Amino acid sequence: MSHSTLQVLSDNVKLLKASASKHAIYGVLIAVMAIVVATFMVSFVEHGEVTLDGIVNAQKTNVALWLLNLSPFGFAFWGQYVSNVMAFQAGAMVVDQTNELRAQAQAIERRATYEVTHDRLTNLPNRVLLQDRLDQAVHIAHRDQLNMAVMVMDLDRFKEINDALGRDQGDRLLRQVAARLKAAVQETETIARSGGDEFVLLLPKISGEQDAIHTAVNISNALKAAFDLGQSKLDVQASIGIALFPEHGSSAEDLLQRAEVAMYSAKQEKSGYTIYEDKQEINSPRRVTLVGELRQALERDELLLQYQPKVDVKSNQVTAVEVLSRWRHPRHGVIPPEEFIPLAERTGLIKIVTAWVLKKALHQIGEWSRAGIELGVSVNISTQDLHDQELYDRVTGLLAANRLDASQLVLEMTETSIMIDKERATNMLQRLASSGIRISIDDFGTGYSSLAHLSVLPVKEIKIDKSFVIDMQDNPKHANIVHAIIDLGHNLNMKVVGEGVESEYAYRELQRLRCDSLQGEYLSKPLMADELAAWVLDTSRTRKVHSI
Ligand code: C2E
Ligand code: MG
Ligand code: MG
């Protein structure tokens, strides 16, 4: 046989093996063996021996053998049929299981979405879902020129009730209130729990003010009957503030804030409900009005930055600064970040604040560099920044625009902010770190991060929380924590910064424990940019740092 014929044969065998099932091939082999044996036996019985002539004769004349000759086809057909049926059944089983798994995955996904968008205690939509529905309603109201209303409702004296009867009873009351509110509103309206004892009602389509008032009265009536808390029956009143679109605001944010202002006014006047008026702003709590003013503050350049030096322990030099923002408010004076950053985080404005801080701070570092003062800068960032896909492009763009090296920028964040959505935060951190930017964990020791997870993050620095450093001298437990954090950081190959260094004792102790850099009022409080430059250049100051 030629080589090509052999090749064709072997290809055919391969093809047969690939397309015929094992059952069919075994069946055919057994049938062929049966034919051979039967033919030999017939030849032996008829001629007394097995000869070629005898075999040929048997095959020509024996009808039983003819029938037997057909058997390989029967076996082949049967084998292939059986395996096809089995394959089909197996396929059907896989499809069944896949469908079941898919259904389970969908159920888990639905549950997860539900939990993210609903309040656990009352099962009402939470702040996240409310924000979504509000944005959507405002969009439609703009488009179709509809009137809508946003109402904020807060229970009167809830804190007292909670303190007097206990949290469990407080929760029980909130659940009952939620149930009555749900019953008092229409299908198309949203009632959400926005936190504590505060509820928000969204009426996406009203014909006018009267509709909103009508609903507010309905709600007040629904709360009139006493609440049954087992041992006690309670009368509960609520205050409702109403803001109307388009009269009182054209964005979800404005409407919510104004409804809250109106609610405080209703509380003060004990009027049950009121509609927003400008003059109510004066008496409303500062927190409420600040939310509305924060966006304008950014536009009006009311935020300002201060820089606090970080001193490198080995070289005794100022090598970097931490940038800290403040709000110079026209009426309230300087508002500290601890008051307005949480507001910015709550309203989603934090991304704009962070973008502004990064822009200003990196520009300042570039300016100093050109003036011969080489400094690194630490910028604080929040959870939402870590989930902002633009963060990476923003920082790398700003570094390039100011001709700075990525290693000059440290991004500080708390353990908690990373843990809120570990996977997303880790991805962002890895991208940032791969470009050379350094990641620092701020206020270390106050969060609840897992050390195992921390060690896989691209973290270059940890900052011991100032509460441990401030009273190191008087509190041996805190002194031990400081010691342990320094060792931990070094074992994980990270630099350790001590912040809140207020005394010479803390300064010397941290130096002794081989902390890498120090920051605190003992060295310098946060300074304005020009003061910082003067401080760094001031040789007597520098000598002070050296001489300590
Ligand atoms: P932080 O990042 O832990 O900043 C250190 C805080 O400690 C600063 O408070 C600083 O003024 C204060 N401090 C410095 N030295 C001492 C000291 O010796 N003793 C004491 N008791 N405190 C000292 P500040 O400026 O009020 O900032 C508070 C927090 O607000 C910061 O804590 C940071 O988490 C946040 N923050 C400040 N600026 C920003 C910002 O631009 N963006 C974000 N997301 N957060 C910011
Ligand atoms: Mg910080
Ligand atoms: Mg800190």
DSSP 458-488: -EEEEEE-HHHHHTTTT-HHHHHHHHHHHHH
Looking at residue 524, its pLDDT comes to 96
Q: Which residue has the higher pLDDT, 519 or 449?
A: 519
Provide the CATH number for the domain formed by 127-276 in this structure: 3.30.70.270
CA dist., res. 45 & res. 417, Å (int): 93
Q: Is 502 in the pocket of ligand 1 (CB under 6 A)?
A: yes
DSSP label at residue 404: -
Q: Is the pLDDT of residue 507 over 90?
A: yes
Average pLDDT over residues 36-64: 80
Residue 325 CB–ligand 1 contact under 6 Å: yes
Ligand 1 contacts CB of residue 443 (under 6 A): yes
In the predicted structure, residue 442 carries a pLDDT above the cut 90: yes
Tell me how far apart the alpha carbons of residues 417 and 457 are, in angstroms, rounded to a whole number: 13
Q: Are β-strands 227-228 and 317-329 bridged in parallel, bridged antiparallel, or unpaired?
A: unpaired
| 276 in Cβ contact with 259 (< 8 Å) | yes
Asked whether residue 9 carries a pLDDT value surpassing 60, the answer given is no
Higher-confidence residue: 144 or 10? 144
Question: 68-82, 374-388, 409-423: which has the highest mean pLDDT?
Answer: 374-388
Q: Residue 332 in contact with residue 286, Cβ under 8 Å?
A: yes
Q: How far apart are CA 309 and CA 521, in angstroms?
A: 10
Averaged pLDDT for residues 335-358: 90
Q: Which pLDDT belongs to residue 3? A: 55
pLDDT band at 503 (very low <50, low <70, confident <90, very high): very high
Over pLDDT 90: what percentage of the chain?
A: 59
Q: Is the CB of 382 under 6 A from ligand 1?
A: yes
Instruction: Reply yes or no on whether the pLDDT at 362 is more than 80.
Output: yes
* Nearest ligand 1 atom to alpha carbon 326: 38
Q: Is the pLDDT of residue 541 over 80?
A: no
Q: How confident is the model at residue 548 (pLDDT cuts 50, 70, 90)?
A: very low
CB distance 462 to 496 below 8 Å: yes
Q: What is the pLDDT of residue 279?
A: 87
User: Tokens 């729990």 appear where?
Assistant: 193
Residues 454-458, mean pLDDT to the nearest whole number: 87
How close is the Cα of 490 to the center of ligand 3, in Å?
19
User: Where in 196-296 does DSSP place strands (E)?
Assistant: 198-206, 227-228, 233-234, 238-245, 273-275
Whether the pLDDT of residue 492 is over 80: the answer is yes
Higher pLDDT, residue 23 or 473: 473
Stretch among 207-216, 247-256, 443-452 having the lowest mean pLDDT: 443-452
What is the predicted pLDDT for the residue at 130?
A: 93
Q: Is 301 or 517 the better-scoring residue by pLDDT?
A: 517
CB distance 301 to ligand 1 below 6 Å: no
pLDDT band at residue 352 using 50, 70 and 90 as cut-offs: very high
Return d(Cα 341, Cα 326) in angstroms, integer. Answer: 9
State the Cα–Cα distance between residues 134 and 203, nearest whole angstrom.
10
Query: What pLDDT is stored for residue 4 in this prediction?
Result: 54
Among 371, 441, 374, 429, smallest CA distance to 405 is for: 374
Q: Do 199 and 124 form a contact (C-beta atoms < 8 A)? A: yes
Tell me what the mean pLDDT of segment 318-336 comes to: 95
Residue type, 19: S
**Measured between alpha carbons, how far is 137 from 203 in angstroms, rounded to an integer?**
9
Beta strands in 81-211 (DSSP E): 147-155, 190-195, 198-206
The b-or-e profile of 462-498 (16+ CB within 10 A means b, else e) is bbbbbebbbbbeeeeebbebbbebbebbeeeebbbbb
Confidence band, pLDDT 50/70/90 cuts, at residue 160: confident
Q: Ligand 1 within 6 A of 521 CB?
A: yes
Token output for 75: 């076996």
pLDDT at residue 10, as a whole number? 59
Question: Is 0.75 surpassed by the pTM of this model?
Answer: no
Question: What's the CATH superfamily of 286-540?
Answer: EAL domain (3.20.20.450)
Q: Which pLDDT value is given to residue 542?
A: 56
Neighbour tally for 458: CB within 10 Å:
14
Question: What is the location of CATH 3.30.70.270 in the chain?
Answer: 127-276
* 302, 339, 340, 380: residue to mutate for ligand 1 pocket, most atoms within 8 A of CB: 380
Ligand 3 centroid, distance to 499 Cα (angstroms): 7
Question: For 392-401, what is the mean pLDDT?
Answer: 97
Residues 293-302 as b or e (16 or more Cβ within 10 Å = b)? bbbebbeeeb
- For position 154, what pLDDT does the model report? 95
Q: Specify the residue with its C-alpha closest to ligand 1, atom 17.
A: 500
- Beta strands 198-206 and 147-155: pairing type? antiparallel
- Distance (Å, rounded) from C-alpha 252 to C-alpha 258? 10
Q: pLDDT for 109-154, tens place per residue?
A: 788 788 888 999 999 999 889 989 999 999 999 999 999 999 999 9
What does the alpha-carbon distance between residue 294 and residue 254 come to, in Å, rounded to a whole number? Answer: 11
Which mutation among 324, 352, 478 tests ligand 1's pocket best, with the greatest number of atoms within 8 A of CB?
324
What φ, ψ does residue 80 adopt, rounded to 5°? -65, -40
In this prediction, residue 546 carries a pLDDT of 46
What is the C-alpha separation between 259 and 251, in angstroms, rounded?
12
Q: Which of 42-56, 249-263, 288-302, 393-407 has the lowest mean pLDDT?
A: 42-56
Mean pLDDT, the chain, rounded, equals 88
Higher pLDDT, 261 or 113: 261
Mean pLDDT for 337-352 is 87
Instruction: Report the C-alpha gap between 476 and 312 in whole angstroms.
Output: 25
Q: Both tokens of residue 345? A: 């985080």
Residue 15, pLDDT above cutoff 60:
no
Interatomic CA distance for residues 259 and 267, integer angstroms: 12
Give me the mean pLDDT over the 23-45 stretch.
79
pLDDT (mean) for 398-406:
97
Give the ligand 1 atom nearest the CA of 381: 44
Q: Where along the chain do the CATH 3.20.20.450 domains lie? A: 286-540
Task: Give me the pLDDT at residue 540, please.
Answer: 46
Q: At what angle do helices 52-61 and 22-47 cross, to 10 degrees?
A: 110
Q: Specify which of 8-12, 51-55, 250-254, 343-347 reaches the highest per-range mean pLDDT.
A: 250-254
